[in-house]
């Protein structure tokens, strides 16, 4: 009976390790030790302006208006 318990524990450990080994191999787990430069772009800040033509006084037109 005692032997049966020992074998059960042994089998359990074997199963856990086997699953772990298979999982690690299948995901090919490697921890990257390099750091890459990361950039983020925030585009889209917009500046707007509406430039109207200057209002020029038309002196010539004023002179052409007949005096009353």
Which residues of this protein are in contact with other proteins, per CB under 8 A?
3-4, 6-7, 10-11, 13-15, 17-18, 20-22, 24-25, 31-33, 37-56
Give the integer Cα–Cα distance in Å for 11 and 17: 10
The Cα–Cα gap between 66 and 49 comes to 40
Output 47 or 65, the one with its CB closest to other proteins. 47
Rounded Cα distance between 9 and 16, Å, is: 11
Shortest Cβ 66–other proteins spacing (Å): 28
Rounded to a whole number of angstroms, the minimum distance from the CB of residue 38 to other proteins is 5
């Amino acid at each position: 009976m005692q032997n049966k318990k020992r074998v059960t524990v042994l089998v359990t450990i074997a199963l856990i390790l086997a699953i772990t080994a298979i999982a690690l191999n299948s995901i090919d787990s490697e921890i990257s030790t390099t750091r890459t430069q990361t950039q983020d772009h925030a585009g889209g800040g917009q500046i707007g302006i509406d430039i109207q033509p200057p209002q020029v006084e038309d002196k010539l037109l004023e002179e052409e208006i007949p005096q009353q």
